[in-house]
Amino acid sequence: HKLFWALIALCVLLLLSDAFYEKHVVFEFEHWFGFFGLFGFSVSFALVLTARELRKILMRDEDYYDR
């Protein structure tokens, strides 16, 4: 449990650090508070969901190579 809470604390600290530096951005939405953290989380979550669905399509039977 300690490792989990340490990871949560680290994520919160990194999110709060977003307010203390100047960003040089290209698009206006990159100025939103916590944008890159939320973007990274949502993209990695979408990647996991996509992989779960691809597994159903690409998975072979257990004895596929034994035949």
Per-residue pLDDT at 64? 83
12-67 pLDDT, tens digit each: 999 999 888 888 889 999 999 989 889 999 999 999 999 999 999 998 888 888 87
Per-residue pLDDT at 66? 84
CA distances from 40 to 5, 44, 45, 57, 63 (A): 20, 6, 8, 26, 38
Per-residue pLDDT at 21? 86
Instruction: Quickly tell me which residue has 């190579």 as its tokens.
Output: 65
- DSSP string computed for the chain: -HHHHHHHHHHHHHHHGGGGS----SSGGGGSTTHHHHHHHHHHHHHHHHHHHHHHHHPPPTTTTT-
Per-residue pLDDT at 62? 85
Overall pTM > 0.95: no
Per-residue pLDDT at 50? 97
